Chains A and B, each alone.
Chain A
Amino acid sequence: MQFGGQVTSRLKPMSEPIIFIQDLVKKYGDFTAVDHISLEVAPGEIFAFLGPNGAGKSTTIKMLTTLLHPTSGVIKLAGFDVVTEQNETRKSFGVVFQDPSLDNDLTAYENMELHAVLYDVSSHDLAKRIKELLTLLELWDRKDSLVRTYSGGMRRRLEIARGLLHQPKVLFLDEPTLGLDTQTRNLLWTYVQKLRKDTGMTIFMTTHYIEEAEMVADRIAFIDHGIIAVIGTTAELCKQTQTKTLEEAYLKVTGTSIRDESVSASQNWKMMRAGRNGR
Chain B
Amino acid sequence: MRTLYILWIRQIKKYFRSRWRIVGAIGQPVLYLLALGYGLGAVFAKAGNGNYLQFLVPGIIVQTILFASIFWGINIIFDRQFGFLKETMVAPAKRLTVFFGSILGGATTTFMQGLLVLILASFLGFRPYSIPMIFVAIVMMALLAIAITSLGAALGSIIDDMPGFQAVNNFIIFPLYFLSSALYPINTAPRALQIIAELNPLSYAVDAMRTTLINQSHFGLPIDFTVLGVTIVVLISVGVYCYNKIEA
Contacts and interface: CB of A to CB of B under 8 A. Distances in A.
B92 interface: yes
A101 B80 CA distance: 9
B6 A103 contact: no
Interface string A91-134: 10001010111111110001001110111100100000000000
Contacts of A97: 83, 86
B91 interface: yes
B83 A115 contact: no
A152 B3 CA distance: 28
Interface stretch (B9-17, B31-39, B64-72, B166-174): B9-17
B248 interface: yes
Interface in B1-57: 2-3, 6-7, 10, 13-14, 17-18
A118 B92 contact: yes
Contacts of B247: 68
A208 interface: no
B12 to A, nearest CB: 11
Nearest to B84: A103
Contacts of B248: 62, 67-68
A55 to B, nearest CB: 19
B6 A113 contact: yes
A115 to B, nearest CB: 7
Contact of A102 (B7, B10, B17, B83): B83
A115 B92 CA distance: 10
B84 A102 contact: yes
B123 interface: no
Given A62-B248, A67-B248, A117-B6, A90 B92 contact: yes
Contacts of B84: 101-103
Contacts of A87: 92
23 contacts: A66-B90, A68-B247, A68-B248, A87-B92, A90-B91, A90-B92, A97-B83, A100-B83, A101-B83, A101-B84, A101-B85, A101-B86, A103-B14, A103-B82, A104-B82, A105-B18, A110-B13, A117-B2, A118-B93, A119-B91, A119-B92, A120-B3, A146-B17
Given A66-B90, A100-B83, A101-B83, 4 more contacts: A67-B90, A105-B13, A118-B3, A120-B3
Interface of B: 2-3, 6-7, 10, 13-14, 17-18, 79, 82-93, 247-248
Of all A-B residue pairs in the complex, the 3 with the closest CB atoms, nearest first, are A101-B83, A118-B91, A67-B248
